Structure 1
Amino acid sequence: MIAVDTYEWLPGGYFLIHHVDGHMGKDEVKAIEIIGYDASSQNYTTHSYDNQGNFSAYQANLLDRAWTILGKSERFTGMFSEDSNTLTGSWELSNDGKNWVQWMDIKLTKVI
């Protein structure tokens, strides 16, 4: 997968908008994700929508520099660099929510 991920704050600063524009093999991948923070659970909630009509909801957590995301059939574990400019991690998939297989490794680098 080759993609450009763009993040921007929704006016007010409560929600982060994540745009994905890329290709996975020959398939075009376009998605938008809305990330919010739930202070009562101290977790992030995310909702993602893509150009194939897929919708996903996730729970995410940031502990020190470790970023984890858990969905019904996808999960991610990653680590931010010390300067917070790079996120490196791995996505896994599951058909049953119990047995997980490697899906893809990612590296996101902040470009200003």
Structure 2
Amino acid sequence: MGTSGEPQRRPSEMDVFLGEWEAEGTSFGGTDQSHDAPRANGVRWQSSHKAWWHTGGFFQIEDERARPGGPVFDTHWVRGIDPETGRMFASSFENHGYTRIYELTRNGNVWTLSGAHERATITFSEDARRQDIVWEWKPEGKWLPLCDRTATRLD
């Protein structure tokens, strides 16, 4: 990846995200969570997501529907390569009105999303049919668990 200023088409290393997935795990956070009780308020997380390449092959789109023990939590993702920096990114758009931009990096089977308010580590199994996902957030200047889940490829 260079910084040529030209958009880069479909980085094949991102193909690992493609397809249909189901996930289960635990979501944390809320008023009872603290550094003394980082896993307080744990509720069951269930979600499904599907990822595909957008027309033209420059951006990957992912649509996620989650049921974290309360109101539906839908997120639309866009992944790609910034033509100015040559770095991979992921942008999220949530049904609660929030949008985030993350730097996306890869080290072998481990992908990291780094943002100002949240961060995640996604570890793919060797056969790329399972994702172990760990999200953290920084509500008061220190990182706390946000969500731990495992996604399994359906297709």
- CA distance, structure 1, for counterparts of residue 132 and residue 84 of structure 2: 28
Say what the alpha-carbon RMSD is for the aligned residues: 1.7
Residue 37 of structure 1: which of 60, 71, 81 is its match? Answer: 81
Would you say 1:104 and 2:147 are equivalent positions? yes
Shift of residue 95, structure 1, vs aligned partner: 2.5
- CA distance, structure 2, for counterparts of residue 41 and residue 110 of structure 1: 31
The aligned residue for residue 49 of structure 1 is 93
**The residue matched to 2:55 in structure 1 has which SS?**
coil
- CA distance, structure 1, for counterparts of residue 73 and residue 146 of structure 2: 16
- CA distance, structure 1, for counterparts of residue 103 and residue 51 of structure 2: 18
- CA distance, structure 2, for counterparts of residue 54 and residue 84 of structure 1: 29
Shift of residue 89, structure 1, vs aligned partner: 2.5
- Provide the TM-score with structure 1 as the length reference: 0.89
How many residues in Structure 1 have an aligned counterpart in Structure 2? Answer: 111
- CA distance, structure 1, for counterparts of residue 122 and residue 90 of structure 2: 16
Residue 60 of structure 2: which of 9, 12, 16 is its match? Answer: 16
Q: Which stretch of structure 1 is more off in the superposition, 60-69 or 39-48? A: 39-48
- CA distance, structure 2, for counterparts of residue 41 and residue 87 of structure 1: 27
Residue 4 of structure 1: which of 23, 41, 48 is its match? Answer: 48
The aligned residue for residue 119 of structure 2 is 75
The aligned residue for residue 59 of structure 1 is 103
- Provide the TM-score with structure 2 as the length reference: 0.66
The aligned residue for residue 93 of structure 1 is 137
More contact order relative to length (CA 8 Å, sep ≥ 6): 2
**The residue matched to 1:82 in structure 2 has which SS?**
coil
Shift of residue 40, structure 1, vs aligned partner: 6.9
* Long gaps (5+) in structure 1: none
Amino acid at match of 2:56: G
Shift of residue 87, structure 1, vs aligned partner: 1.0
- CA distance, structure 1, for counterparts of residue 91 and residue 136 of structure 2: 18
**The residue matched to 2:72 in structure 1 has which SS?**
strand
- CA distance, structure 1, for counterparts of residue 135 and residue 80 of structure 2: 21
Q: Which stretch of structure 1 is more off in the superposition, 40-49 or 67-76? A: 40-49
